Structure 1
Amino acid sequence: MMNMQQFYALDQLIKEGERISSHFDTVSFDLFDTLLIRRIHDPDLVKPAVARYISNRVNSRATAQGQGKTWTWQQVQKLRDTFEKEQRQETGQRFDDFEACYPDYMSRVITAVFGEQDDDRLLREVTDYELAVENSVLVPRQDLVNWLRKLKEQGKKILVVSDVYLPAAHLERLIEHAGFLDQVDAVVSSADSFLAKASGKAFPMLRERFDLSYERWLHVGDNPVSDGGRPAEQGIHALVLRDGLEKMRKSLAKRYHNYSLGLPFYRGRCLQQIMLPLEAENIPRHPLYVKGFNVFSPLLSAFVQGVAEHCLNAGIRRLYFFSREGWLFEQVWNRVIPKIYAGMENLPEISYLYVSRMALAPASCGHTGLDQEHADIVFLPPGNKDFRDVCRVFGLEADAFTNILTLHELHQETVLSPLHEDFLPENRLRFNEMLEEAAFQEEVKKQTRPAHQALQRYLEEQGFFAQPDVALVDIGWLGTIQRFLHRAVAHRADAPRCHGLLFGATRGIPYPTSPANSITGIVYDRDRFDLAASTILYNRDLFEEACRAPHPTLNGYRLIEKSTEDDAGYELVFRHEDDAVGQAEKEQDSFFAPLQEGILAGAEQYAAAAAILGYSLSDVKPWLNYLLVSRMAFPKTREIEEICQRHHLDDFHGQHKATKAAAAKELWRCSRLKLRWRPLLRTEFFLRLIKERLRS
């Protein structure tokens, strides 16, 4: 047709459009796949997410009221499909186009599911959610929107015309979110009139409604029939975009989605494909931002999703994010979980708890003293050597123990760690015997009781003792923080059962598991054989630094005698930042800031993709394992150089140097020369990992 031109690249279409635009007073645009493109290959993928939302809403209400029918999302979806199909059949009897109108059939769904209730309010809330899901997968095609703005500046009448079940009022909200509603004179949807572009009936209706001239009208779209042939039949000049690159992108997304139906590995790959930035989102980024978005974000987002799944299955209604890493976990949770579990009313209440090993270690001794099990923990890090390190970790004044040390033929500098020279096993036996002395324990309790009392007051203020079960979310690895916390509160009758949910549970030492105190590794747990996930062990410091909060380390809890009823009776004591170590921490925070920015940006996209696909942690776990193996066990030298931390502060770790025999050999600490020129180096380390995991 003379009035129809097809283009296979967007820049060619815009170039031609600019050349001929002076001949037209009105320019109409198709909306979907023209002005807005979707991250997903099939627009119907949005519908199951809405069905899950409705199912969550009605089931939460039924649970709260102890009555009512429960609905699966599949039942809700089937109901929606049925009512939409019925309306299209009815419309087809009166109009040429078999169109549907979202509010009409969705109100029927809501009445059928919820019964006779506040249907208008529920319809608004369901509509709001559906449009929010649509917005999460819609991206404006920036070059085309920029051209639209130019046309508006030239005085053209701009129309947006779409064949879709959403009324124009809903489309306006989508366009407003995309940022160019102020440039559009009118939005027209077939859902309002049942006259669509597909049959060509929409164009005479638009001509009459807006008093248009076919000869002075230009239409732009992507469908050769609806946006090409039909307007051309009326004498409207049509530009049709047949974008090969966009079709290839959607074809790739479709392929991954189809693969995922039978191969679990591709579920995570499909999800991450949907996450990827499009159009104007694709701008140059810091390498650490890219790594945060592509690697750490899926790992951490899936982790908090696994935490939520555990809490929901166990009926845990209170969750605390732990330590400095918990600060970022909470940020990820707030971006991911409300979207994945939209409509669910029994999600746990969350908050951030200021804790650290160094702060909790003294508080853990205030009631029960210091036993051998917990004293042994001090000598796990190779930097700890003698009794001075025991006192540093547990907040003790070493000089107060001089007499009892002498009675056991020890002194403050006696080597107690087998990782250091001059270690004698009999000295460690004498130390263990000293721990049994009542005088030693009384002095320990005396010195640590104020910290213990301050901790109790802090936890009471945080509502820690107000529920029978609490989930405690931490990076890992040995569960030391939770061990100390539980020991500090176990004597209380109102102490809750503590469910530790760790990113990785390495269990390097036995954990005192009981019904009242347990830990579970979500992404990795040594008690579940998972060779791929165990590659976390290559560089645990990296995960700690990547997730670290931008506030100083908590050093302790200080007791304050109450002077008024409003006085909290405690204060949190943070590490000073004005020394060399504090400055190093600030430098480290600045270094990893782009990484955390990428993590949080990626979490938003993970949430949208997971909500649409309906994936659980188990669905994406095979892909997460691939990420871990490829990025931790077989990283490129450049990747190690980009992300390897500059400083790692660990007050628990002393300053002593262990013997060379005790020094660990790690891939991520190898020299650049070795990383580049030893082709089998990574394989050697991976084989070593396999050997260690098979032994453990």
Structure 2
Amino acid sequence: MISFDVFDTLITRTTAIPSGVFALMQDELRKNSMYFDVPEYIRENFVDLRLNSEVLARKSYCNGALEDITLHQIYDALAMTGTLEEDIRIKLCVLEREIEYKCSIGIEQNIDKIKGYIKQGEKVVLISDMYLEEDTIRKMLIKADPIFEKIKIYVSSGYGKTKGSTNLFWAVKNIEKAEFSEWTHYGDNPKTDIQSAERLGIKAQYLKFEPLLKCELKALKYNEKNTFIQQTIGIARNTRLFYGLTAVKAIGSTIGGAVLFPYVWWIIQESIKKKISRLYFIARDGFILKKIADIIIKELGYQINTYYIYGSRRAWRMPSFNKSNSDVELLLNWSHPNNIKTIIDLADVFQITESQLISFLPNHYKKIKCFTAANFKIIKENLAANNEFKEFLYKIHENKRMEVIKYLQQEIDFSDDNMAFVELAGSGYTQLCLANIISEFYHYPIKTFYFKMDRVHKNVNCRFFDFLPSNLYLHVIIEMLCRAPQSQTIGYKEIKNKMVPILGEEEGRAIIQHGIYDYIEGIEWFTQEYVKLIQSTDIKPYKLELLLKYMDYIAKEPDKEVMEFIGGMPNSVTGRENKVIQYAPALLRRDIINIFLKRTYESIETYYTGSALDYSVLRSNDRNKKLIEFCKKNHDTFIGKFSRIKKILVEGRYQQGLQYQIPLDMIGKRIILYAAGNIGQSYYQQLKRYNKCKIVLWVDKKYEQFREMGLPVSNPEEIAKYKFDNIIIAVADKKTADSIREELMSKGIDAEKIF
């Protein structure tokens, strides 16, 4: 004989945990007028009362001879409140059966096992420890599959015996005249289905039920009564169970789906309200979003068409540069300026050659190898005021602008304003550039949906719809949940009279190798199952409770699998990188020492290539975390000071973007800064910004040249007129520095004051 357990073996619920049924009942009691005759005390506290009444019923009725209780006995216990008449008790019992039936769903892979045994001629029975009646359980089973119409069901509430005590197995043996040695039992409970059966000599087969993940358990904590969270987590768990999703697929179905589905649902509902019939999902973040939208639209029959548009900041920003969009400073400020460290970097932002850019720079900046904050600011202001440079940019990108226009006109229906673009996150600047490009032939404001914008925008050419106006911690994580199996769009070219996008190569391959297709598959399965739930319930999918809990979980305390998937995701920060980098790369020992011990005020990008240092710290092993704490603790001690001096002496040069250190005993002193080159300008900006010392004088023999650049540099002869505590020689070349030192000492300045 073959026997099967029922709940979480053959059928399960659409809620995360069984008490989710009571939460759904409480919602129904509160909002449905047909239950307003139920006392308000019961309606408002139903979940807690129902759970505790079951405990009381078990304590009262399970006295040895009786091992399990019935649904009616639970409501007898609830009636001890003194507020339930018999007709109300019956009404609540009926409601619980209805909700249980509505929430039940079959586990097909295990039902198929039963079909296989019946086909082989085996005798099959079902055995369940449950307070619900046999008839109710049978209805739930038949809903899953009609094969259960005639299979015998043994329920503990009907026999007063349970599997846990083995007495229900004995009852089945006697009725079915079966032998334990010729009996196989399947179930999901290690104790009642496996251990109890094996004690009798029954061959037990464990059918593992899909457990809730750490993020789901954390989200449920203190939220068991939240029906939205209960049902959404239930769908994610069941999706993993039904389709055997593990690893990256499970991350997609559990977190990716739960976070991105509400956004896409909101877009679709807003589009219906705003009479938007065409949605253009912009690469690359729009790739997964479109897949979700297409499933929703198809299954629910919405009259909205979706399209995928290849575009990027790289493809659209510079081609948009013209007389009405010529703010160079704004362009650079929205181009990750901390990553612009050299003339080559700056030229790449403008998408011109190094030699072309140098021709527009003042002579004394043409040979700068790396920028300080001061000279970058001056260069930026100089270029912003250079109309000849702006005209050059406009002309050199004119062909690219025409290519963009040709591609957009080919792919987008501009006939009316019943369309909108879909983005994920950002400043909105690239969309402003897009609006500028198409303004020549499209005279409506362009509408764009965003999951999260970085700024509040008011612009006549653009209308932004922001799903989550916020400043989420490590907000770029949302982009890691929305990667596409392709590199960024670089530009466009014409092939056989059709404009096609030019894509990068390396990052797209790296994203595919990282498992993006498995992740997307998980999201698609979740979306399919969630749409089924929407069709059968009144769930509001755009609620933010679970999304925010998951975002917080991912950012602050992810499990290792999630952390490695997110942190290791290939992610170009600026779109200008020439190699693949990770969102939050694991830190090596040398990285930790440079960042947390040797670094002072220089930008983090000097040492760190990722987008989220805090997340890289999370990814560190215990040994490296201890090293990080040690470096932080000793940054301002002798150890930190010595390491920074040693770095300068050993390297004999200054790294790109480095803000140079001063001894701690100079803090608060009067300083004369000698030399106004790159290093001198870096020192000057550092000391002025952080107000650590008082700069009484800044000198250089080429002071007239630097004054023309707007820098307050004086003749070294002025030193004699000032009172000071120390002189800092801001020169990298040792011979030059020694020469300056000797010259100062020859004028009677104490060698101990010279650094």
**Structure 2 counterparts to residues 183-222 of structure 1, below 5 A:** 219-220=152-153
Cα–Cα, structure 1 residues 543 and 278, in superposed 2: closer, same or farther, change >3 Å? closer
Alignment of structure 1 residues 127-526 onto 2, 5 Å: 138-140=105-107, 142-143=109-110, 145-154=112-121, 175=145, 219-220=152-153, 267-277=228-238, 281=242, 283=244, 285-286=246-247, 288-336=248-296, 338-339=298-299, 342=300, 345-346=302-303, 348-365=304-321, 368=324, 370-377=326-333, 379-386=335-342, 388-400=344-356, 403=359, 405=360, 408-409=362-363, 419=373, 423=375, 425-434=377-386, 436-437=387-388, 440-492=389-441, 494-507=442-455, 513-526=458-471
- Counterpart residue number, 1:574: 503
The alignment partner of 1:632 has SS state of helix
Any conservation in 1 of the 2:281–2:290 contact (CA below 8 Å)? Answer: yes
SS at 2:423's partner residue? strand
Distance 1:385 1:135, change over 3 A: farther
SS in 2 for 1:276: helix
Give the deviation of 1:622 after TM superposition: 2.0
> What is the aligned partner in structure 2 of residue 115 from structure 1?
none
* Deviation by residue 1:567-602 (Cα, 9 ceiling, x = unmatched): 23x332222x3xxxx1x5423321133433333333
Q: What's 1:629 paired with?
A: 552
CA offsets per residue over residues 308-365 of structure 1, 9 Å max, x none?
23323333222111121211111122234555xx25x44x321111111111123212
**2:416 is paired with a residue of what secondary structure?**
coil
- Structure 1 residues 498, 244: closer, same or farther in 2, change over 3 A? same
Query: Larger C-alpha radius of gyration, 1 or 2?
Result: 2
Q: Which residue is equivalent to 1:535?
A: 473
Match of 2:539 among 604, 615, 629: 615
Q: Deviations over 1:232-272 (max 9, x none)?
A: 9xx9969999998999999x99xx99x979x66x5224421
Shift of 1:410: 6.9
Return the letter of the residue paired with 1:607: V
Per the alignment, in what secondary structure is the counterpart of residue 397 of structure 2?
helix
* Aligned amino acid, residue 273 of structure 1: G
| Compared CA separation, residues 137 and 367, structure 1 to 2 (3 A) | farther
Higher relative contact order (CA 8 A, sep 6+): 1
> For 1:673 and 1:631, how far apart are their aligned partners in 2?
19
CA contact (8 A) 1:546 1:596 kept: no
Q: In structure 2, list runs of 5 or more residues that go unmatched.
A: 26-30, 34-100, 127-133, 162-170, 179-184, 194-208, 580-593, 606-611, 634-755
1:591 maps to 2:514: yes
Contact 2:5 2:186 survives alignment (8 Å): no
Secondary structure in structure 2 of the residue aligned to 1:350 = strand
**Distance across 2 between alignment mates of 1:445 and 1:246:** 75
- Partner AA of 1:430 in structure 2: N
Contact 1:476 1:503 in 2 (8 A): yes
Moved more, 384-393 or 144-153: 384-393
Do the aligned residues in 1 keep the contact of 2:11 with 2:104 (CA within 8 Å)? no
Provide closer, same or farther for how the CA distance between residues 321 and 443 of structure 1 changes in structure 2, counting only shifts above 3 A: same
Report deviation, 1:488.
1.2
**Secondary structure of residue in 1 paired with 2:339:** coil
Q: Please say if 1:39 is aligned against 2:37.
A: no
Distance 2:413 2:154 in 1: 58
Cα pair distance change 1:44/1:641, threshold 3 Å: closer
Structure 2 residue 547 is the aligned partner of structure 1 residue 606:
no
Query: For the structure 1 residues 595 and 247, does the alpha-carbon distance in structure 2 shift closer, same or farther, using more than 3 Å as the test?
Result: farther
* 1:213-232 per-position Cα deviation (integer Å, ceiling 9, x unaligned): xxxxx634669679x9xxx9
Pair 1:153–1:588, CA change in 2 (3 A): same
CA contact under 8 A between 1:329 and 1:547: conserved in structure 2? Answer: yes
TM-score of the superposed pair, with normalisation by structure 1 = 0.57
Counterpart of 1:666 (choices 576, 599, 613) is 613
Residues 554/477 of structure 1: CA separation in 2 closer, same or farther (3 Å cut): same
Aligned to 2:740: none
The alignment yields a C-alpha RMSD, in angstroms, of 5.5
CA contact (8 A) 1:502 1:520 kept: yes
For the 8 Å contact 2:335–2:349, the answer to whether it is kept is no
Give 3-state SS (helix, strand or coil) of 2:395's partner. helix
2: distance between equivalents of 1:638 and 1:481?
A: 34
SS state of the match for residue 499, structure 1?
strand
CA–CA separation in structure 2 for the residues paired with 1:392 and 1:135: 59
- Residues in 2 aligned to 1:644 and 1:327: alpha-carbon distance in whole angstroms: 20
Q: Does structure 1 retain, via aligned residues, the 8 Å contact 2:336–2:574?
A: no
Q: Displacement, 1:674?
A: 6.9
Inter-CA distance 679–377: structure 2 relative to 1 (3 Å threshold): closer
> Residues 631-685 of structure 1, C-alpha deviation per residue, up to 9 Å, x if partnerless?
212335675345421643345345799996211773112243377559999xx9x
1:403-428 deviation per Cα after TM superposition (whole angstroms, max 9, x unaligned): 5x15x547666589655xx6264333
Quick one: structure 1 residues 432 and 35, their matched pair in 2 at CA, closer, same or farther if it must change by over 3 Å?
closer
Identify if the C-alpha distance between structure 1 residues 33 and 630 changes in structure 2 by more than 3 Å, giving closer, same or farther: closer
Name the amino acid aligned to 1:277.
Answer: N
- 1:383 and 1:606 map into 2 onto residues whose CA distance is 42
Q: Do the aligned residues in 2 keep the contact of 1:470 with 1:496 (CA within 8 Å)?
A: no
Is the Cα–Cα contact under 8 Å of residues 423 and 448 in structure 2 kept in the other structure? Answer: yes
In the alignment, structure 1 segments of 5+ residues that lack a partner are 1-16, 22-28, 49-72, 76-133, 176-180, 189-205, 207-217, 527-533, 685-696
